[in-house]
Amino acid sequence: MPFNIACGTCRNCVAGWTSFCLRTNPTEGVDGAAYGYAQMGPYDGGQAEFLRVPFADFNLLALPSGAEWERDFAMLSDIFPTGYHGAELAGVGPGDKVAVFGAGPVGLLAAHSSYLRGAARVFVADYQPDRLVLAERFGATPVNIADGDPAGQIRDATGGLGADCGIEAVGYQAHDPAGQEHPEMVLDGLVSAVRTTGGIGVVGVYVPQDAKAATDGAKEGRIGFDFGTLFQKGQRVGTGQCPAQAVQRRAARPDHRWAGNAVAARLA
Ligand SMILES: [Zn+2]
């Protein structure tokens, strides 16, 4: 079951953008619905034992019987498709060097997804040592932001050019190693770490209203990141919530059993 709630027949759903369904969210001005998520409709959270699934015949994914692939399926609702979507938005392709900011579950699966799409090298930036150890076990090069500017570390490791693609897997609540919130920090880091004409995929969450934001602008969704350098470098940016179903249906095909078991293989 995807975390998105989609009707399956509106213009966006038909185009595969189930994360921006035009029908399922009655909130004025917002397309796309999800379970237990701010502004995304009157639906309770998806962490319950029982759940009502609107448009269930469209949203539910029929799984093969048996328990053999349970570990794969558990990650298909959200985390793995979101990580994959980050790599897709960034345009990761064969031979690319990729900078992933954030080594939580989405960041780690963005790194894994980048390798599935043929990336040659993946850097993962964070400051939590245990997360960086996991990133290394996924085959990525860990970049500890506590050791200094992560973009500088990534440029140094790529002959000064920067990564071909960058993935934002943190969001507006980004913190520095001292615990101070900087909503622009990761976007600035990616603009700096990615080469000219490179692609950036943003799947970390940003919101139009955040009453507890660190700056007045950020309280209204205005994140003061380095758009000037982004333009000067001719970079592309893709954003938004993942249409989980599109990734699910590829992942659940019998010949694409690469979800949890492939992750387990990386961690072995
Ligand atoms: Zn729809």
Distance 28 CA to ligand 1 centre (A): 15
Distance 20 CA to ligand 1 centre (A): 7
Q: pLDDT digit string (tens) for 112-154?
A: 999 999 999 999 999 999 999 999 998 999 999 999 999 999 9
Q: Which residues contact 188 (CB under 8 A, 6 or more apart)?
A: 225, 226
Bridge partners of 101, per DSSP, are: 125, 168
Distance 100 CA to ligand 1 centre (A): 31
Q: What is the predicted pLDDT for the residue at 257?
A: 47
Residue 19 predicted with pLDDT over 90: yes
Q: Which residues contact 64 (CB under 8 A, 6 or more apart)?
A: 254
DSSP E strands in 127-245: the ranges are 141-144, 163-168, 194-202, 236-239
Q: What is the predicted pLDDT for the residue at 169?
A: 98
Q: pLDDT digit string (tens) for 149-193?
A: 999 999 999 999 999 999 999 999 999 989 999 999 999 999 999
Query: What's the topology of domain 79-239?
Result: Rossmann fold (3.40.50)
Distance 33 CA to ligand 1 centre (A): 9
Distance 246 CA to ligand 1 centre (A): 13
44 band by pLDDT with thresholds 50, 70 and 90: confident
Q: 14 burial class (0-12, 13-18, 19+ CB within 10 angstroms)?
A: exposed
Are residues 110 and 84 in contact, defined by beta-carbon separation less than 8 angstroms? yes
Residue 59 predicted with pLDDT over 80: yes
Q: Which residues contact 68 (CB under 8 A, 6 or more apart)?
A: none
Q: What is the predicted pLDDT for the residue at 141?
A: 98
3-state secondary structure of 185: helix
Q: What is the predicted pLDDT for the residue at 113?
A: 93
CB atoms within 10 A of CB 131: 19
Closest CA to 68 of 266, 268, 267, 259: 259
| Overall size of the chain counted in residues | 268
What is the share, in percent, of the chain residues with pLDDT greater than 70?
93
Cα(249)–Cα(147) distance, rounded to whole angstroms? Answer: 40
Distance 53 CA to ligand 1 centre (A): 14
Cα(6)–Cα(78) distance, rounded to whole angstroms? Answer: 14
Distance 21 CA to ligand 1 centre (A): 4
62 or 260, higher pLDDT = 62
36 band by pLDDT with thresholds 50, 70 and 90: confident
Distance 19 CA to ligand 1 centre (A): 8
Distance 85 CA to ligand 1 centre (A): 19
Mean pLDDT for the chain? 90
210 band by pLDDT with thresholds 50, 70 and 90: confident
80 or 70, higher pLDDT = 80
The first and second tokens of residue 49, run together, are 């034992």
Q: What is the predicted pLDDT for the residue at 256?
A: 47
259 band by pLDDT with thresholds 50, 70 and 90: low
Closest CA to 169 of 210, 217, 123, 208: 123
Q: 183 burial class (0-12, 13-18, 19+ CB within 10 angstroms)?
A: buried
What is the share, in percent, of the chain residues with pLDDT greater than 90?
74
Distance 81 CA to ligand 1 centre (A): 19
Distance 250 CA to ligand 1 centre (A): 20
Distance 29 CA to ligand 1 centre (A): 15
Could you give the angle at the alpha carbon of 163 between the alpha carbons of 101 and 72, nearest 5°?
Answer: 50
248 or 254, higher pLDDT = 248
In the chain, residues under CATH classification 3.40.50.720 are 79-239
Distance 13 CA to ligand 1 centre (A): 4
